[in-house]
Homo-oligomer: A and B are copies of this chain.
Amino acid sequence: MAETSRLQAFSDGIFTIAITLLILDIRLPQNVPGGGLAGALLNLWPSYLAFVTSFWTIGVMWINHHRLFRLIKRADEGLVAINLFLLLLVSWISFPTALLAQHLRGPDERIAAIVYSGTFVAIALVFNVLWWYARRGGHTDEPEHPITRQYKYGPVFYLILLAVGVFNATACLALSTLLAVYFALPPRKAAA
Contacts and interface: CB of A to CB of B under 8 A. Distances in A.
The secondary structure that dominates the A interface is helix
A12 B13 contact: yes
B185 A77 contact: yes
A183 B99 CA distance: 34
A145 to B, nearest CB: 15
Number of this chain's copies in the complex = 4
Interface in A109-138: 111-112, 115
A159 interface: no
Interface residues of A, number: 58
A6 B12 contact: yes
Given A62-B10, A107-B34, A111-B38, A91 B56 contact: no
A43 interface: no
